[in-house]
Amino acid sequence: MANPVVAIVGRPNVGKSTLFNRIVGERISIVEDVAGVTRDRIYSSSEWLDHPFHLIDTGGIAYDDQDVFLQQIRYQAELAIDEADVIILVVDATAGITADDEEVAKMLFRSKKPVVLAVNKADNPTRMNELYEFYSLGFGEPIGISSAHGLGIGDLLDEVIKHFPETKEEEYDEDVIRVSFIGRPNVGKSSLVNAILGEQRVIVSDVAGTTRDAIDTQLTREGQDFVIIDTAGVRKRGKVYESTEKYSVLRALRAIERSDVCLVVINAEEGIIEQDKKIAGYSHEAGRAAIIVVNKWDVLAKDDKTFQTFTQSIRDHFQFMSYAPILFVSANTKQRIQQILPKVQEVAEQHAMRVSTSVLNDIIQEATTVTPPPTDKGRRLRINYATQVSVKPPTFVLFVNDVELMHFSYRRYLENKIREAFPFEGTPLRMIVRNKAED
C-alpha cells in the first residue's frame, strides 16, 4: 500500500516552508550517505503516530494573470493538489483573510479533497482569539499553529491523519510478483510496458489498483503471475505530470512502496544523469529488488567497446546499487524484451531468499578467521551470533560484544562474504548490529 500524500498550500509568505521543515524535522529516512540516496526538500517523507506519509511543499499561490511566474507557481500547486490525499491550507493569523486566501479556498473546494485549515503565526493568546474569522473560509475548525515555534503542530497532524484513506490490503496473492518501471520522464517506461504486454499471450485482466487512478496490469508468464504497477500512467493532465520533475519522482516513490521489483529505466541516448541516480536511490532505500534497464539501446551508435564502457559507467554512477543486474533493451525493436520478466522472476526469488542460521554462522566464522574483526583502543570486535530475521529484503542481525566496534568497512566486508556464498542478485541486504545483551 502506497503511503498517503499531504500537500501544504497557501498564498505567499504564510509560512508553508517553515511548516514543512517543522513537520519533516529530523525524521527524514536516509539509509546510507551515498550518492543517489537523497531527498529533494520540496517533498519528503514523515510519520505521525505510526502513520507514514509523503509531504509536498508548494510555492505560494497568488492571482495575477499578468505574471507568468505566478501562473506557473499556481499550476505547480494545482498538480500537488491533484496528487494529494489531504491538503493543509496555511493562512496568516496576523494578516486575516485576504483575497488570495479566498481564491485558494475556491480552488480547494473544486478539488473535493479533505482540507485541514492551519492558521499560522498564532503564537500568543490574542492571535488565538482571532482564529474565529477563518471559519468563514468554510473548512471547519481552524487550528492555530506557530511553525516557527512548533506550537500546535501535533494538533494539526492529529487532524490530518484522520483524513487518510483507509488502508487496504493488496488484493494479490503472495506468490504474485509486483513490478514497477521507474525513472525520469521520457526514458521509455510506458513503451517498455507496452512492449512486454505485446509479447504476452495470457493477460488475465486490467484491475483498478489500490492507488488512486492507477491501473495495475496482471499477466502470467510460464506459470508465474506478475502485476505491472502503473507509474507513468496517464491521469487527467496526461504527460504534463511527466514534465514536472518532482511529481514524476513522487509517483515513483508511491509505486516503489507497492513493488517487489523495481526496473530502473535509463535512456541510452541521453546517458546517465543525476535524476536517474536519485530515483534509483529511492528503490535502494526502500529495500526493493532492482534491475537497471537501459532502453533505446538500438539507436546508440556503437563500436566494440560501447557495451563495456556503458556498463562501467553505470557501475561507477550506481555504486550503491552494485547488486543490480543490467539489461540493454529496446522497446521499439523488442530487442531483449523477452529477457525482462525472467530476470524479474530471478531477482524476486533472491529478494525472498532465506539462509539457514547454521550456514550463516559458518560464513561469518570463516570470514572473521580470514580477516579478523577490527580493534579499537585494545578492544576487538567479537561477533557472537548471526541470524536472518526477514526477507524482502534479506535482513540479518549480528549480535556482537560492542556495536561501536563494528566499522562500516567491516560490515561491508561481511556483506560481500555473504554474497559470495549466496547470489542475492538484484536485492539489497540489510545488516543490523546489536549488542549481545539486547533482545
127: Cα separation from own chain's centroid:
39
The CA distance from 25 to 152, in Å, is: 15
Please state whether beta strands 177-182 and 203-208 pair in parallel, antiparallel, or not at all (unpaired): unpaired
Q: Is 21 annotated as a binding residue?
A: no
Q: Is 14 annotated as a binding residue?
A: yes
Q: Is 92 annotated as a binding residue?
A: no
Positive or negative torsion for Cα 132, 135, 136, 137: positive
Q: Is 15 annotated as a binding residue?
A: yes
CB 254 within 8 A of CB 212: no
Which ranges of 58-164 does DSSP label H, i.e. alpha helix? 68-83, 99-111, 125-129, 153-162
The CA distance from 164 to 364, in Å, is: 44
Beta bridge pairs of residue 181: 263
Q: Is 298 annotated as a binding residue?
A: yes
Q: Is 144 annotated as a binding residue?
A: no
The CA distance from 272 to 244, in Å, is: 19
Q: Is 303 annotated as a binding residue?
A: no
Q: Is 332 annotated as a binding residue?
A: no
Q: Is 186 annotated as a binding residue?
A: yes
Q: Is 119 annotated as a binding residue?
A: no
Q: Is 390 annotated as a binding residue?
A: no
The CA distance from 89 to 139, in Å, is: 9
Q: Is 342 annotated as a binding residue?
A: no
Q: Is 162 annotated as a binding residue?
A: no
Q: Is 439 annotated as a binding residue?
A: no
Q: Is 343 annotated as a binding residue?
A: no
Q: Is 152 annotated as a binding residue?
A: no
Q: Is 65 annotated as a binding residue?
A: no
Q: Which residues neighbour 190 within 8 Å (Cβ) at sequence distance 6 or greater?
A: 232, 233
Q: Is 98 annotated as a binding residue?
A: no
Q: Is 80 annotated as a binding residue?
A: no
CB 57 within 8 A of CB 108: no
What is the crossing angle of helices 99-111 and 68-83, to 10°?
A: 40
Q: Is 311 annotated as a binding residue?
A: no
Please state whether beta strands 215-221 and 203-208 pair in parallel, antiparallel, or not at all (unpaired): antiparallel
**Taking the CB of residue 77, how many other CB atoms lie within 10 A of it?**
22
Q: Is 61 annotated as a binding residue?
A: yes
Q: Is 59 annotated as a binding residue?
A: yes
C-alpha cell at 100: 488570495
Q: Is 188 annotated as a binding residue?
A: yes
Q: Is 13 annotated as a binding residue?
A: yes
Q: Is 17 annotated as a binding residue?
A: yes
Q: Is 190 annotated as a binding residue?
A: yes
Please state whether beta strands 43-48 and 51-57 pair in parallel, antiparallel, or not at all (unpaired): antiparallel
Q: Is 367 annotated as a binding residue?
A: no
Q: Is 258 annotated as a binding residue?
A: no
Task: Extract the annotated binding site.
Answer: 10-17, 57-61, 120-123, 183-190, 230-234, 295-298
Task: Extract the annotated binding site for GTP.
Answer: 10-17, 57-61, 120-123, 183-190, 230-234, 295-298
